[in-house]
């Protein structure tokens, strides 16, 4: 069963969907799915489009409670993207789903994976993190300050143009997230790094770099022939479900 809620995160109103298992006993764990930041025209608003369906499927197969929220500027959520704002949004979602002190894990896609690592590194409530197609090196992923600023504009995650940081400030704000530094702080918490071998947006070498930064204390799953979009790949889903099953 999928329940829709709205959360207040600063000046933003976030859409949150929470799925409870109808098919298996609840195991006392919560998984939060974290969407990425597409860089194509208009796609930012649809960044979380497939995640509610994925949340229901994963919840029913695993027995976990699975939540997915749309961060500022995405989908029906108000506000404007910045890395700092998205970190605050994810912390707000964690505050909601961690009520009653359940065991919480994060699974992030693309930039959402990098974000999940950064938030988990400073939040002991997070017991494990899975990333899929996450960039390890955000400087390379951003390109120049003008390039990432333009990408954010055209993707449509800007509620009010006056709220969007200037190119240099936006670039610095994103680079304040260091995925390799963050993942180094996470062991012995559980880590899964998934990546497509044919990803042309984020090279598979980034996945290996994340595992190396965790001193090898992370599971690495390379999905042969897969590109950057892994949310609907059944092999990714099977990989995630297997990790959750071992995470009980």
Closest by alpha carbon to 171, among 154, 151, 146?
Answer: 146
Q: How confident is the model at residue 168 (pLDDT cuts 50, 70, 90)?
A: very high
144 part of a folded domain: yes
Domain count within the chain: 1
Q: What is the mean pLDDT of residues 99-108?
A: 86
Q: What is the mean pLDDT of residues 215-228?
A: 93
Residue 107 CB partners (closer than 8 Å, separation 6+)? 31, 32, 33, 34, 116, 129, 130, 131, 132, 240
Is residue 73 scored above 70 in pLDDT? Answer: yes
Q: Is residue 12 part of a domain?
A: yes
> Would you say 174 and 165 are in contact if contact means Cβ atoms under 8 Å apart?
no
For residue 62, the enclosing domain spans 2-243
Q: Which helix (H) or strand (E) holds 241?
A: helix 234-246
The reply to whether 51 falls in a domain is yes
* Domain contains 146: yes
Model pLDDT, residue 202 = 94
Output the pTM of the full model.
0.94
Does any domain span residue 166? Answer: yes
Query: Quick one: which H or E segment has residue 31?
Result: strand 29-34
- Hey, which of 55-59, 190-194, 232-236 has the most confident mean pLDDT? 190-194
| pLDDT higher than 90, residue 24 | no
- Do 2 and 17 meet the contact criterion of CB atoms below 8 Å apart? yes
Q: What is the distance between the alpha carbons of residues 243 and 93, in angstroms, rounded to a whole number? A: 22
Q: What is the pLDDT of residue 2?
A: 80
Contact, 33 vs 68, CB < 8 A? yes
Q: Under a CB-based contact definition with an 8 Å cutoff, are residues 115 and 40 in contact?
A: no
What one-character DSSP code corresponds to residue 80? B
Least confident piece of the model among 21-25, 37-41, 102-106: 21-25
Overall average pLDDT of the 198-213 stretch: 96
pLDDT digits (tens, 9 = 90+) for 32-41: 999 999 877 7
C-alpha 77/C-alpha 55 separation (Å) is 18
Q: Residue 228 above 90 pLDDT?
A: no
Residues 6+ apart with CB under 8 A from 113: 34, 36, 129, 130, 131, 132, 133, 134, 135, 179
- Closest C-alpha among 32, 81, 99 to residue 59: 32
Say if 58 falls within a structural domain: yes
pLDDT value for 42:
65
User: Residues 59, 14: contact at Cβ < 8 Å?
Assistant: no
Rg (CA), the chain: 17
Distance in angstroms (rounded) separating the CA atoms of residues 229 and 222 = 13
Quick check: is 248 in a domain? no
Q: Assess if residue 233 is contained within a domain.
A: yes
Indicate which CATH number applies to the domain containing 101: 3.40.50.1820
């Amino acid at each position: 069963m999928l329940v829709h809620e709205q959360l207040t995160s600063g000046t933003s109103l976030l859409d949150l969907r929470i799925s409870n298992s109808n098919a298996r006993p609840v195991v006392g764990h919560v998984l939060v799915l974290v969407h990425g930041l597409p860089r194509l025209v208009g796609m930012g608003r649809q960044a979380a489009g497939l995640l509610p369906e994925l949340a229901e499927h994963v919840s029913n197969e695993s027995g976990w409670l699975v939540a997915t929220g749309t961060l500022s500027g995405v989908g029906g959520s108000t506000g404007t993207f910045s890395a700092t704002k998205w970190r605050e949004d994810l912390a707000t979602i964690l505050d909601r789903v961690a009520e009653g002190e359940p065991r919480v894990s994060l699974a992030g896609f693309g930039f959402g994976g990098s974000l999940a690592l950064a938030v988990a590194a400073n939040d002991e409530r997070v017991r494990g993190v899975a990333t899929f197609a996450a960039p390890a090196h955000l400087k390379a992923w951003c390109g120049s300050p003008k390039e990432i600023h333009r990408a954010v504009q055209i993707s449509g995650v800007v509620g009010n143009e006056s709220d969007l940081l200037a190119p240099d400030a936006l670039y610095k704000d994103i680079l304040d997230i260091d995925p390799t530094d963050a993942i180094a702080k996470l062991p012995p918490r559980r880590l899964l790094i998934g990546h497509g071998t044919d990803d042309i947006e984020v090279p598979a070498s980034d996945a290996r770099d994340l595992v190396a930064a965790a001193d090898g204390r992370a599971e690495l799953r390379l999905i042969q022939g897969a590109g950057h979009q892994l949310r609907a790949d059944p092999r990714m889903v099977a990989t995630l479900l297997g990790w959750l099953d071992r995470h009980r």
